[in-house]
């Protein structure tokens, strides 16, 4: 059987058609040999071990096969895998863990097959991918350019068609920059959503494990396996579970104001980003220019502030015993910790909170930020000539994200005039990971890009069911909570995702209520035959989020049972009869958006 793309959809179809995990492993071995990049992997299981794992999975009854059955994956070599050394790209530091990291254990239990531990910027210090004594993994498109770091090998292995997905880590952008440089999806979760137990820390208070994948759907499928609270990780957090839904009809997207668009002379990258902005506008989304200085102020804190001391703390005994064993650039950065003071630490913490407060107003204007994932494609020789400045530039739109506890998703969007990939990163408040995945799927579908650097076509998109998922509660909204409108953020903050856009049955009158702002409509059921059908969206909320949402609804509005145009019923906004006193009947507009458009 011919094996093509390793994306999840294609591999699952191949397994259903008779592919054996044993044969897949032999194919991957052949691909790795042909790829011939000695700097890609730091260690790998033996072929005998890989085939034994594949055969053991194949022997399982179908009902016992996990969601990642027979799926090949890679992990960054600062993540523990039992039986393989963890080096963090420093041979003298290497140790042999007795147990795998929590996330690796979950993937193994789900049926994944680990094919190798990937090269990285030493001790995950860098966004460039060239700071390793094991060499520089090749960029999947052009070896003259950097692969991005610190998760260099994690990204290039997937982009080169050697694995379905990989795990990286992300402190300052290491789960996003390599994705942008290699035409991949990079899922950077809300800090604390994925366990970091068994991960060698860089900055423990900020670190996230990230996922590199060929499609947004693939990244979410892996996230569903690995996410969840881990009591062994002091930084693990409990989150309300949500799932991706339909792309909302309209999303308010914040883009850097013209003065804040930094590409460091990369005109092809700048042109590609402007083209993407135009495409988003043409797709009907609302674009809002954002003053990025508050975010840049946070970004500067990451390397100018005391967080570099966390890097020192992670390897304190090792570096104090013999600093010369570190890569020269890694050593120079890490030893800056000795210049930090306790007083300076608190001053930076105060500065962070002040900057955080300045950024908060942004989220009242938009649903997500859209930034270029990579501000410039640097060549390897350029980075080696000026390692600090080039690395700092790569963090322009990434460094602030974890300091602010945000969620992020890097998505491929186009190819530049020079043939290199160009992508964007979607950034939203923490906890909106599922919603970002919904948005990412929609934007990914705007362009039929090949997968990674394989040249292979994308599979048919996974169609999400237009029903409220089990365990969640649906709510119909008809006014200011519609996507792209001012109160929609209340739903997003509670972990809601859009299920579908639809209309009510023709049994309602629609009113613009007195008062405001915020201006609100009222939906009243009538039985005299004068009812009309009203535009609505169905959103799915976790049970605790639904309770919080309902408790905040002010009189004379409430939650009742609405009948939709397909005769199904769902909870949704209704108005008490007293609400129509002094209200304007706007039923003829057929929806709140049309009414607002007439007013403007």
Token pair 């003259």 in the structure block, residue: 144
Name the phi and psi angles at 590, rounded to 5.
Answer: 75, 5
Fold matches, 8-291+361-444 and 473-599: no
**What are the residues whose beta carbons fall under 8 Å from the beta carbon of 9, sequence distance 6 or more?**
215, 217, 218, 459, 460, 462
The whole-number pLDDT of residue 249 equals 76
Name the phi and psi angles at 145, rounded to 5.
Answer: -100, 155
464-476 exposure pattern, b = at least 16 Cβ within 10 A, e = fewer: beeebbeebbbbb
| pLDDT tens over the chain, length 600 residues | 789 999 999 999 999 999 999 999 999 999 999 999 999 999 999 999 999 999 999 999 999 999 999 999 999 999 999 999 999 999 999 999 999 999 999 999 999 999 999 999 999 999 999 999 999 999 999 999 999 999 999 999 999 999 999 999 999 999 999 999 999 999 999 999 999 999 999 999 999 999 999 999 999 999 999 999 999 999 999 987 778 888 877 899 999 999 999 999 999 999 999 999 999 999 999 999 999 999 999 999 988 889 999 999 999 999 999 999 999 999 999 999 999 999 999 999 999 999 999 999 999 899 999 999 999 999 999 999 999 999 999 999 999 999 999 999 999 999 999 999 999 999 999 999 999 999 999 999 999 899 999 999 999 877 776 788 888 899 999 999 999 888 998 998 888 889 999 999 999 999 999 877 778 899 999 999 999 999 999 999 989 899 999 988 888 888 999 999 999 999 999 998 888 888 999 999 999 999 999 987
Q: Is the peptide bond before 360 cis (omega within 30 degrees of 0)?
A: no
What is the maximum alpha-carbon separation in the chain? 86
Give the torsion sign (CA, 66, 71, 76, 78): positive
For the domain made up of 473-599, give the CATH fold.
Answer: Hypothetical upf0131 protein ytfp (3.10.490)
Q: Which two tokens stand for residue 429?
A: 């408040």
Question: How many Å apart are CA 575 and CA 37, to the nearest integer?
Answer: 65
Q: Is 237 a catalytic residue?
A: no
Contact 300, 361 (CB under 8 A): no
Note the helical H segments in 283-375: 293-304, 308-314, 316-321, 328-334, 342-360, 362-365
Token pair 């942004």 in the structure block, residue: 362
Q: Tell me whether residue 171 is exposed, middle or buried, using C-beta atoms within 10 angstroms of its C-beta: 0 to 12, 13 to 18, 19 or more.
A: buried
Instruction: Say which of 151, 157, 166, 174 is annotated catalytic.
Output: 174
Q: Is 150 a catalytic residue?
A: yes
Per domain, the residue ranges of the chain are 8-291+361-444, 473-599
Q: Which two tokens stand for residue 151?
A: 């998760």
Instruction: Say which of 5, 132, 150, 483 is annotated catalytic.
Output: 150
Name the phi and psi angles at 288, rounded to 5.
Answer: -125, 125
Q: At what angle do helices 8-16 and 21-35 cross, to 10 degrees?
A: 140
Q: Is 174 a catalytic residue?
A: yes
CA dihedral 564, 565, 568, 573 (to 10 degrees): 0
Question: How many Å apart are CA 414 and CA 460, to the nearest integer?
Answer: 18
Question: How many Å apart are CA 168 and CA 452, to the nearest integer?
Answer: 16
The whole-number pLDDT of residue 413 equals 97
The whole-number pLDDT of residue 220 equals 97
Neighbours of 49 (CB within 10 A): 13
Taking the complete model, does pTM exceed 0.85, yes or no?
A: yes
Q: Which secondary structure element, helix H or strand E, spans residue 389, and what is its range? A: helix 387-394
Which SS3 state, helix, strand or coil, does residue 459 take? coil
What does the DSSP assignment read for 172-236? SSTTTHHHHHTT-EEEEPPTTSB--TTB--SSTTT-EEEEEESSHHHHHHHHHHHBS--TT-TT-
CATH code linked to domain 8-291+361-444? 3.90.1300.10
Token pair 């790829």 in the structure block, residue: 35
The whole-number pLDDT of residue 83 equals 96
Q: How far from the centroid of its chain's Cα atoms is residue 100's Cα?
A: 24
Contact 537, 475 (CB under 8 A): no
Nearest to 422 by CA among 472, 372, 471: 372
């Amino acid at each position: 059987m011919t094996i093509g793309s390793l994306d999840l959809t294609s591999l699952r179809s191949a397994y259903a058609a008779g592919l054996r995990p044993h044969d897949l492993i032999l194919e991957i071995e052949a691909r790795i040999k042909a790829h011939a990049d000695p700097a890609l992997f730091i260690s790998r299981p033996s072929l005998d071990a890989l085939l034994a794992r594949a055969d053991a999975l194949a022997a399982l009854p179908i009902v016992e096969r996990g969601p990642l059955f027979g799926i090949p994956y890679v992990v960054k070599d600062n993540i523990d895998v039992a039986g393989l050394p963890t080096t963090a790209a420093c041979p003298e530091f290497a140790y042999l863990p007795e147990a795998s990291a929590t996330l690796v254990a979950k993937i193994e239990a789900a049926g994944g097959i680990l094919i190798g531990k990937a090269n990285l910027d030493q001790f995950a210090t860098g966004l460039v991918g060239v700071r390793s004594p094991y060499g520089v993994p090749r960029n999947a498109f052009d070896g003259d350019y950097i692969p991005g770091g610190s998760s260099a090998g994690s990204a290039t292995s997937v982009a080169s068609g050697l694995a379905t997905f990989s795990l990286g880590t992300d402190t300052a952008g290491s789960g996003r920059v390599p994705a942008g440089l290699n035409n991949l999806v990079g899922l950077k979760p809300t800090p604390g959503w994925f366990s970091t137990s068994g991960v060698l820390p860089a900055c423990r208070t900020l670190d996230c494990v990230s996922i590199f994948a060929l499609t947004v759907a693939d990244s979410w499928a892996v996230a569903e396996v690995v996410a969840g609270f881990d009591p062994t990780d002091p930084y693990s957090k409990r989150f309300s579970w949500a799932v991706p839904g339909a792309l909302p009809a309209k999303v308010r997207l914040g883009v850097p104001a013209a003065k804040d668009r930094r590409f460091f002379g990369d005109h092809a990258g700048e042109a590609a980003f402007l083209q993407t902005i135009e495409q988003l506008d043409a797709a009907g989304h609302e674009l809002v220019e954002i003053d990025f200085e508050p975010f840049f102020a946070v970004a500067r804190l990451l390397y100018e502030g005391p967080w570099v001391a966390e890097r020192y703390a992670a390897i304190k005994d090792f570096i104090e015993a013999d600093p010369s064993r570190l890569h020269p650039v890694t050593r120079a950065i890490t030893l800056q910790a000795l210049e930090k003071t306790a007083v300076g630490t608190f001053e930076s913490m105060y500065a962070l909170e002040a900057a955080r407060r300045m950024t908060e107003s942004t989220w009242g204007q938009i649903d997500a930020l859209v930034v270029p994932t990579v501000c410039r494609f640097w060549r390897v020789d350029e980075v080696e000539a000026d390692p600090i400045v080039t690395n700092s530039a790569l963090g322009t739109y990434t460094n602030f994200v974890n300091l602010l506890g945000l969620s992020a998703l890097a998505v491929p969007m186009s190819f530049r005039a020079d043939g290199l990939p160009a992508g964007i990163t979607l950034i939203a408040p923490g906890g909106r990971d599922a919603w970002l995945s919904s948005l990412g799927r929609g934007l990914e579908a705007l362009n039929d890009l090949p997968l990674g650097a394989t040249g292979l076509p994308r599979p048919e998109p996974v169609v999400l069911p237009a029903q409220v998922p089990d365990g969640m509660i649906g709510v119909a909204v008809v006014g200011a909570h519609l996507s792209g409108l001012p109160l929609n953020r209340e739903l997003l903050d509670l972990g809601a995702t859009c299920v579908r856009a639809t209309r009510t049955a023709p049994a309602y009158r629609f009113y613009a209520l007195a008062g405001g702002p915020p201006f609100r409509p009222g939906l009243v059921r009538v039985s005299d035959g004068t009812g009309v059908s009203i535009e609505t969206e169905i959103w799915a909320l976790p049970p605790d989020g639904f309770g919080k949402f309902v408790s905040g609804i002010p009189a004379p509005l409430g939650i009742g049972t609405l009948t939709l145009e397909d005769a199904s019923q769902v909870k949704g906004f209704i108005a008490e009869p007293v609400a129509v006193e002094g209200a304007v009947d706007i039923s003829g507009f057929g929806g709140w958006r049309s009414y607002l458009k007439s007013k403007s």
